[in-house]
């Protein structure tokens, strides 16, 4: 009698398993109410992730590269200027990138200032200046009350093949001056056209 109950229990379990399998199979084969329109439509329409893989982002537009106002090279170093903007506070902020194509670490020691007050700035743009040729005047990097330049310090240097961003802030020339010449020690002069800040 126990054997009969065990066989009957197994039969019931087998029937339940088969029924469950059939229900799942039918549900998986269902059309989902798309009236015969398969995934062809969905796969032919590019998604946002597809756009990103193709280097496009339709919502935000393609990323624009930095505008290059000037680029000068010397001794394996490339100095690129991407912005020279006059602001309402009476300052001129010049920004850009520097790339080290030398055979080792570059610490910007040759860009230091000769001024005693700025000697403690180490490898930085403390030695940068610009010339207003129209007004016949040279402008030096601004500094705070403790003699720190308002410019980038390349702490730890820049490794071979690497690029770093930089900035230097100066007193702004008169509004009638629209072009200046940036001078960084050991680099050729770079002519810049100034823009007005917002």
C-alpha distances in angstroms, 188 versus 71, 88, 181?
9, 29, 10
Question: pLDDT, tens digit, for every residue of 155-176?
Answer: 999 999 999 999 999 999 999 9
pLDDT of residue 18: 56
Instruction: Name all domains of the chain by residue range, CATH numbers in brackets.
Output: 70-196 (2.60.40)
Structure-model confidence comparison of residues 8 and 195, the more confident one: 195
Q: What is the pTM of this model?
A: 0.66
Question: pLDDT, tens digit, for every residue of 87-130?
Answer: 988 999 999 999 999 999 999 999 988 887 777 788 899 999 99
Question: pLDDT, tens digit, for every residue of 131-162?
Answer: 999 999 999 999 998 889 999 999 999 999 99
Question: pLDDT, tens digit, for every residue of 39-68?
Answer: 444 444 444 444 444 444 444 444 456 799
Q: How many residues does the chain have?
A: 198
For residues 68 and 92, give the distance between their C-alpha atoms in angstroms, rounded to a whole number: 17
């Amino acid at each position: 009698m126990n054997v009969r109950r065990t066989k009957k229990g197994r039969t019931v379990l087998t029937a339940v398993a088969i029924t469950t399998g059939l229900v799942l199979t039918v549900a998986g084969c269902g059309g989902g109410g798309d009236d015969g329109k398969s995934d062809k439509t969905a796969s032919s329409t590019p998604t946002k992730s597809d756009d990103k893989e193709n280097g496009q982002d339709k919502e935000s537009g393609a990323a624009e590269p930095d505008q290059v106002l000037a680029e000068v090279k010397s001794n394996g170093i490339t100095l690129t200027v991407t912005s020279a903007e006059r602001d309402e506070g009476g300052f001129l902020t010049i920004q850009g990138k520097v790339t080290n194509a030398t055979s080792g670490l570059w610490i910007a020691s040759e860009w230091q200032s000769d001024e005693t007050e700025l000697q403690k700035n180490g490898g930085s743009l403390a030695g940068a200046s610009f010339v207003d040729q129209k007004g016949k005047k040279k402008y030096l990097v601004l500094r705070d009350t403790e003699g720190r330049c308002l410019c980038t310090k390349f702490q730890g240097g820049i490794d071979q093949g690497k690029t770093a961003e930089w900035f230097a802030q100066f007193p702004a020339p008169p509004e009638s001056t629209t072009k200046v010449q940036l001078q960084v020690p050991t680099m050729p002069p770079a002519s810049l056209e100034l823009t007005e800040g917002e």
